[in-house]
Amino acid sequence: MRWLLLKDLQLLRRSPLVTGLLVVYPIVLAVLIGLAISRSPEKPRVAFLNQIPQSSGLSLGDTGGFSQEEARHRLCANIECVSASSRGEVVEKVKDGDVLGGLILPADFLSKLQAELTTNSAESAKVEVLVNEDDPLKAQVVDDRISSLLNQANLLLSDKITDVAVNYERLLANGGEFEIPFLGQTVHVLGLERSERILRALEGSLPPAQRSQVAQVSDFARLARQNLALANQLLSSIRQPIAVDKQVVAGSVPPLDTFAVAVAAAVTLLFVTVLLVSGSLALEREENTFTRLTRGLVSRTGLLVEKSLLGTAAALVVTLLLLIAITPFESISWSRIYLIVPAILLAGAASSGLGLAIGAAAREVRASALLAFALALPVAFLSLVPSGTVGKGLLDVIHVIAGAFPFRPALDALSGAMSASGPDLGLPFLHLALLTVGYLALARLALRRFA
Amino acid sequence: MSQGKTPGLGRDDPVLEVDGLSKRYGERAALRKVSLTVGRGELLAVLGPNGAGKTTLLSILAGITKPDGGRISRSNGRIGWVPQQAGLYRRLTVDENLRLFARMEETGDVEGTVERMLEQTGLADRRGDQVSSLSGGNQQRINIAIGLLGDPSVLLLDEPSSGLDPSQRIRLWEFVAGLSEAGTAVVYSTHQIEEASHYGDRLVVLADGETIFDGSFEELRRAAGPGPEDGSADPENDFVRFLRERGH
């Protein structure tokens, strides 16, 4: 048994590429994926810019209100606030993917909120939210986070406002002193209880001398109506006192359904093409036909181009069949076929290039299939990690890895081709073209030790 | 083997001339100034122990490996090459393989060439069979047939009989002999002296990358010196004795 084990270890030692990939690659990916998962949902990083003057706060009558410190403390308990000193800095951080989004409190936010809560001001207090919608998944994450934050803030305010409403209610019931907000005037509120007592005392007889007391009752009734009106305004404002002004500073997203179709198409295209091309090239060596072919029948570069054409054609057929099969369930914009076909062809060419590099490096059909799976599957997963859900350094690493493989640009090209609201096509097309050339060059280099 | 050949074939009508071929792999010299001439229809056996440089020589002659030095000149006509391991698509049928390579060789009449090769290999009745279902001997015949598709004046065979059983070997050599008789020069590598003595018009012996003998088997025997006292003739013993006397 031990000799067999020793033999297997010797074989592994003599296959440094496969052994290295088997050991190093899963570790690197596990670390990246582990970090991505462990960092993602708990506290999203949000760039925070407070433009409200330091001295301002929110006053809600007798029950108090919020100081800026308290508001910030509560907000940053739920998100990781990354302080920014200017709007430009917020935009930069959002564009870079350093943060999930940017939150800007405008200078007039508190005064507008105060006016909304205490008068019948029609103008809502708005916070400005800046987002980078790289893809619909991220857009969904961002929307969820914004909704969550907004709900929390509104809930906090509604708690405070409920306290105010309860005080008004007590005042109406029991009577007392009431300070009119902003005017600084204090009025005496009789209260329903005392009104009842007065009215009971007046029961049976209403001599003229007691008309002033009746007048007090009349005044109370009027004030009560006004207070109730105020309470109604307050209660209506509880529902949504803070509004959001959302701005997309980078990225353009197709509908989520279209994106899902693009993901399915990109995954299928990548796997089919890479497996086919890598296996096809490795088979030439296993069948001992490579040397026979390249002895003068076809050049090595010519052989690579032939395999690349095979993979690209297969990618076109398979992806179009997939889209046709999906059509009854999801609406595909077939009017954009003139963009869809070039996107598939370029994605197919880049995936074929990757397949050629794998096939030339692995040199055996089974090893190439293993390598193709080991590379394509985790890379496809990593490519879908939204920016802002992990730290900037880690995100940069993920971007470099994902950018070196055709899945992400293929996804961008396909979603951009299938939807007018998708990403621009220029960059992914260029990216795919460069990857194709790069992988072909790598494969050509690897063919030097292929025979 | 040359008794049945067309008159005029042989070294007097050279189709391939090699002069001073050298090749190094790092520190190791695989070939050191090897020279030889091959005549039309000649059967030349390149013989030598393992690592002598036989495969390197054939690879250079086939144009697969570039020499570090030396010169190769050939008469009009192509050089056909047959690798040691059959270079065939095992999932394709016999005639699909022949047709593919005939097209790539740009032979004028593809179908005619395929038919000719099927007839020549005696595999016409197996034309529709996948290559993977053929015996090793029959696969080797197809392998050689593909090497012949370009109608070469010289055919290079790298250890063509390795892995074949005795009856398959005999059929293979009969097939090769037929090619030679038809005027194709055949250069083959082997480390089996018996095979070389039976099926070679001439032997070139390589050792450590050098040519240490070039002549007929009888000349080799004489060069090896007297054999056992009982006078028994054993080509293998003669060859080993020859090598030992030259320090190999």
pLDDT in tens, A392-431: 777 788 889 899 999 999 999 998 899 887 778 999 999 9
CA distance B24 to chain A (A): 17
pLDDT at A17 over 90: no
Cα A123 → chain centroid = 29
pLDDT at A4 over 60: yes
Nearest by Cα to B46 from B146, B177, B196, B194:
B196
For residue B86, list chain A residues with Cβ-Cβ distance below 8 A: 288
Q: Are B156 and B62 in contact (CB under 8 A)?
A: yes
Nearest by Cα to B39 from B18, B72, B7, B10:
B10
Written as six digits, the tokens of A208 are 């003229």
Chain B's closest residue to A294, CA to CA, is B64
* Non-local CB neighbours of B20 within 8 Å, separated by 6+ positions: B33, B34, B35, B69, B70, B71
Nearest by Cα to B47 from B192, B238, B234:
B192
For residue B85, list chain A residues with Cβ-Cβ distance below 8 A: 288
How many whole angstroms separate alpha carbon A365 and alpha carbon A286?
8
A292 touches chain B (CB under 8 A): yes
Question: A280, A283, A286, A288: which to substitute to probe chain B, counting the most B Cβ within 10 Å?
Answer: A288
A353-359 average pLDDT score: 95
Q: Do B85 and A288 touch (CB under 8 A)?
A: yes
pLDDT at A39 over 70: no
Question: A281, A292, A303, A447: which to substitute to probe chain B, counting the most B Cβ within 10 Å?
Answer: A292
Q: Which of B85, B86, B105 sits opposite A297 (nearest CB)?
A: B105
State residue A278's pLDDT score.
Answer: 93
For residue A280, list chain B residues with Cβ-Cβ distance below 8 A: none
For residue B63, list chain A residues with Cβ-Cβ distance below 8 A: 295-296
How many whole angstroms separate alpha carbon A205 and alpha carbon B184?
144
Q: Are B155 and B148 in contact (CB under 8 A)?
A: yes
More confident position, A91 or A116: A91
Q: Do B62 and A295 touch (CB under 8 A)?
A: yes
CA dihedral over A340, A345, A347, A351, signed as positive or negative: positive
Q: Are A347 and A414 in contact (CB under 8 A)?
A: yes
B131 touches chain A (CB under 8 A): no
pLDDT at A75 over 60: yes
CA distance A448 to chain B (A): 12
State residue A42's pLDDT score.
Answer: 57
B81 touches chain A (CB under 8 A): yes
State residue A120's pLDDT score.
Answer: 58
CA distance A451 to chain B (A): 10
Q: Are A294 and A300 in contact (CB under 8 A)?
A: yes
A9-24 average pLDDT score: 69
For residue A292, list chain B residues with Cβ-Cβ distance below 8 A: 81, 83, 87, 101, 146
State residue B1's pLDDT score.
Answer: 47
Kindly indicate the confidence band of residue A200, based on its pLDDT and cuts at 50, 70 and 90: low
CA distance B89 to chain A (A): 6
Q: Which residues of chain B have pLDDT under 70?
A: 1-12, 227-233
More confident position, A359 or A191: A359
A451 touches chain B (CB under 8 A): yes
How many whole angstroms separate alpha carbon A72 and alpha carbon A297?
73
Q: Which amino acid is at A207?
A: P
A210-229 average pLDDT score: 65
Q: Are A106 and A357 in contact (CB under 8 A)?
A: no
Q: Do B83 and A451 touch (CB under 8 A)?
A: no
Q: Do B86 and A288 touch (CB under 8 A)?
A: yes
Nearest by Cα to A284 from A99, A95, A447, A117:
A447
- Give the containing element (helix H, strand E) for B214: strand B210-215
How many whole angstroms separate alpha carbon A302 and alpha carbon A294?
9
pLDDT at A436 over 80: yes
Q: Are B40 and B15 in contact (CB under 8 A)?
A: yes
- HSE, CB side, 13 Å, CA atoms: give it for residue A343: 30
How many whole angstroms separate alpha carbon B109 and alpha carbon B107?
6
Strand, coil or helix: B130 = strand
Written as six digits, the tokens of B58 are 């054939």
Per-window interface: A 293-322 vs B, CB < 8 A: 293, 295-298
State residue B233's pLDDT score.
Answer: 66
More confident position, B87 or A232: B87
- HSE, CB side, 13 Å, CA atoms: give it for residue A226: 11
How many whole angstroms separate alpha carbon B235 and alpha carbon B198?
10
B88 touches chain A (CB under 8 A): yes
Kindly indicate the confidence band of residue A87, based on its pLDDT and cuts at 50, 70 and 90: confident
Is the ipTM value over 0.85, yes or no? Answer: no
Q: Which of A288, A291, A297 sits opposite B64 (nearest CB)?
A: A291
Cα B236 → chain centroid = 19
CA distance A291 to chain B (A): 7
Instruction: Label each residue of chain A as H, E or C.
Output: CHHHHHHHHHHHHCCHHHHHHHHHHHHHHHHHHHHHHHHCCCCCEEEEEECCCCCCEEECHHHCEEEHHHHHHHHCCCCEEEECCCHHHHHHHHHHCCCCEEEEECCCHHHHHHHHHHCCCCCCEEEEEEEECCCHHHHHHHHHHHHHHHHHHHHHHHHHHHHHHHHHHHHHHHCEEEECCCCCCEEEECCHHHHHHHHHHHCCCCCHHHHHHHHHHHHHHHHHHHHHHHHHHHHHHHCCCEEEEEEEEECCCCCHHHHHHHHHHHHHHHHHHHHHHHHHHHHHHHCCHHHHHHCCCCCHHHHHHHHHHHHHHHHHHHHHHHHHHHCCCCCCCHHHHHHHHHHHHHHHHHHHHHHHHHHHHHCCHHHHHHHHHHHHHHHHHHHCCCCCCCCHHHHHHHHHHHHCCCHHHHHHHHHHHHCCCCCCCHHHHHHHHHHHHHHHHHHHHHHHHCC
Q: Which of A289, A296, A298 sits opposite B87 (nearest CB)?
A: A289
- Stated pTM of the model: 0.68
Q: Are A124 and A112 in contact (CB under 8 A)?
A: yes
